[in-house]
Structure 1
């Protein structure tokens, strides 16, 4: 492996990447009715832009996107990747293949010996070069990025031995023996990918990895304490965008300087309005006098009325929020209208085009 002048891992020009972006993002609906989860605006650009920027910074140039849901959206935005300093190729999954099946589905486009594989909904500060260094030093068949979490009960656990070798894959349990979990990023030797059964659903954690362990293959764990967030829920999605805006996780794709807010082209914020907490105000969006926006995202063309409070929310493209409204932890779909003096609390979701009348309505449920 190449090394830098200080002996640290150098650019990964001899590796390539696969990004799995085929999921429908059901937990983020109604936002994902109009776009795949990795293409949702996140700190001013599609979420996938931040991941591709990290991949490019590592020195990797060839990237294959494994797509399915609304697959055309990816190619329309990123094209062949040349504008982003990458060589991008696309494979469309015509039926669900699970994680390992989706990896096998792109095998015909792979060229390198070492292939980094990413779940397309993870926000991470992992040093990719160090991950590959661990993989090569251990002569592993597969290396997994592992993170320690405060409450591993909601995840499967991945124990390792004193040398970092993976020893098992454990299902979710109320009494997990370790706090290490699979963080959704791997390095595969290409022959391992080519041995995954083709044309059917295959799970990495339930079939591929246990099968490799049973056959005596070396699976290595790479544990680090860098930033890590699964962006699968609205609360996590909002938090991740805010962290990018504030610079908690630096990103070369951020379209502006880190700070308390990010205002895109032609966004209009009244002089006495407050926008903070890592909020993003989309292109052409408006925030009226006396309004307070904190830790939230306004997609392009959204409008917030006078004296309204929006905290930890996502407002879809063209959404209209009246005056004196209080939104907390809510998801407002594209083009939805919230009348004056309404209060929408944690968990409230308003679907595209729905209109909530004025008059002090208070709720925390789906409105379709």
Structure 2
């Protein structure tokens, strides 16, 4: 793994007993001594601390920067208030998804957090299509996430001001002597915070948070099972350039003002397809699946309408055992006429077709502070 990048927390991960693995060009902790299941449950019950510094942090500056970014995303950026954050996605000319990202209005500029594996493609996309906008990749800041029902108490011990924040609020907060950009958001379905911190102060902040008995370090393994229970998409698995936002069930992220008949409708790549699917429905849909038994149906498992015969009608994109729901869970795509909740379909596992029931998402109810 000598050619992999390391975050500023690498030495601390090793000190804490992490098992390091390659991930999106980085050497990252997949788990610590307790293991994925215990780390998952600890996050649901207390507060898990994640290193997500591999993700890209980008600043956009320039004239009418919100209007400019709306040329690339089907999201209301102009109406995003200062100190607020919004989920969005870059779309292709065919209506697929180049990447999903978080967008923050920081007053005189926009702050984006993009996926690690898509960072270079995103930067190129922004610079190509927004030549009048300054696109700055931040390389001097780390990113950590504190997630779980005790996250507020743990972070408030360092600065009580965070108690006033609600879901998707963003603020400048002093933490353990570091000037941080804090958002009340995350990727687990739990209440929590994501914290952008200068690299030089990152390990100090992480150690300060870990002094609390309510906080433990959590690896990427539990992060994946937590987001799957929360019904959240993973880029490259559940969404990608061949998937439209409407197929993926991300309609909620496309505000009325950007839809047909809205004041700023269309004007983004793939608008014809996306706006049409919003009106008439997509040909296929992302669904939740609960397989029978204890064995997960994992990514690339073929899905069939019948227990025997017939061609595959879809495929699983993510699958794992859900520690909080105590059963296997999956997400995948099926034709719209097979997507009704309660429908039984079949996944082919080791040559056998096993039943799974289409279930509502998320599998685990979120606990965001609205």
- TM-score (norm. length: structure 2): 0.30
More strand as a share of residues: 2
Task: Give the structure, 1 or 2, with the largest relative contact order (CA under 8 Å, sep 6 or more).
Answer: 2
Q: Say which one has the larger Rg.
A: 1
TM-score, normalised with respect to structure 1: 0.30
